[in-house]
Amino acid sequence: MRQAVIAGNWKMHMTCAEARAYAAAFLPLLGELPGDREVVLAPPFTAISALSEALAGSAVRIASQNVHWDDVGAYTGMISAPMLLEHGVSHTIVGHSEPRKYYSETDEQINLRARTAQKSGMIPILCVGESDSQREAGEAERVIRRQVDQGLEGLDPTQLVVAYEPIWAIGTGKTCGAEEANRLCGLIRGWVGYDDVIIQYGGSVKAENIDLLMAQPDIDGVLVGGASLDPAGFARIARYQVPVAA
Ligand code: 13P
């Protein structure tokens, strides 16, 4: 049985003070979780340390929003794996569509980041997904397959999360239908070639659609942007309930 990974990506939101206040509100709302799921929060780099301290003793894990492929060097503005490990970071998001778009990240660079994460003992959350125009042109599967093949080269699929995030569903309120998201997650599972790889869906996930998404057999978790900024909403997402089959 695959353990679900429910992750919140705060993007460029939350100061240290806000992160501490979030943790104080979130932990009591989260309560004890069933062992079938893991909860991860990805604050901006500057709030990692404060959040890590505020969550100490809880089961909530910390992800970074990216990682450089070298441990040290002349890379202005970058953060390396040893710097993250020092603060208890266990996961790292790589290949998100925002750095792909705004900073022209390539599949090759994303693969280097993911390899470095695994070598350092972190779990990469590798994001893939097609744009609106690629979907309309019937190219979604080809684009995602390329991102999977190149992004995962040389990686250990047992220490990995893949997040299927259709770009047109990110921050738009347009969630991909649960069955269509499940279909793509199933295709990705086949391309990875490891049945137990954890595959998340991301894109306008909220309290109102989480139960339906998590009821899909190939969706093993979610990567949540906007709705993870509200502790009550994200606690509800983490406490998703899947109807028991009769
Ligand atoms: P939203 O949940 O705000 O659509 O963002 C999704 C996302 O990009 C998570 O990484």
Mutation pick for ligand 1 pocket among 12, 205, 208 (CB with most ligand atoms within 8 Å): 205
The CATH number assigned to the domain holding 39 equals 3.20.20.70
Residue 244 lies in a domain: no
List, chain by chain if needed, residues with CB within 6 Å of any ligand 1 atom.
9, 96, 165, 170-171, 202-205, 223-227
Residue 246 lies in a domain: no
For residue 246, pLDDT over 70 is answered with no
Whose CA is closest to 129, among 53, 26, 203, 196?
Answer: 203
Residue 42 lies in a domain: yes
Ligand 1: nearest atom to the Cα of 203: 4
Q: Which residue's CA is the closest to the ligand 1 atom numbered 9?
A: 225
Residue 192 lies in a domain: yes
Residue 27 lies in a domain: yes
Residue 135 lies in a domain: yes
Encode pLDDT of 29-62 as tens digits. Answer: 999 999 999 999 999 999 999 999 999 999 999 9
Residue 245 lies in a domain: no
Domain that holds residue 171: 4-238
Ligand 1: nearest atom to the Cα of 169: 4
Q: What is the pTM of this model?
A: 0.97
Q: How many CA atoms lie within 13 A of 201 on its CB side?
A: 32
For residue 3, pLDDT over 80 is answered with yes
Return the active site residues.
96, 165
> Beta strand pairing status for 89-94 and 4-9?
unpaired
Dist CA 226 CA 230 (whole Å): 8
Encode pLDDT of 183-223 as tens digits. Answer: 999 999 999 999 999 999 999 999 999 999 999 999 999 99
Whose CA is closest to 180, among 216, 206, 146, 214?
Answer: 216
Q: Which residue's CA is the closest to the ligand 1 atom numbered 2?
A: 225
Counting runs of H as helices and runs of E as strands, what totals does the chain give?
10, 8
**For residues 62 and 26, is the Cβ–Cβ distance under 8 A?**
no
Ligand 1: nearest atom to the Cα of 228: 2
What confidence score (pLDDT) does residue 173 get? 82
Residue 243 lies in a domain: no
The domain tally of the chain equals 1
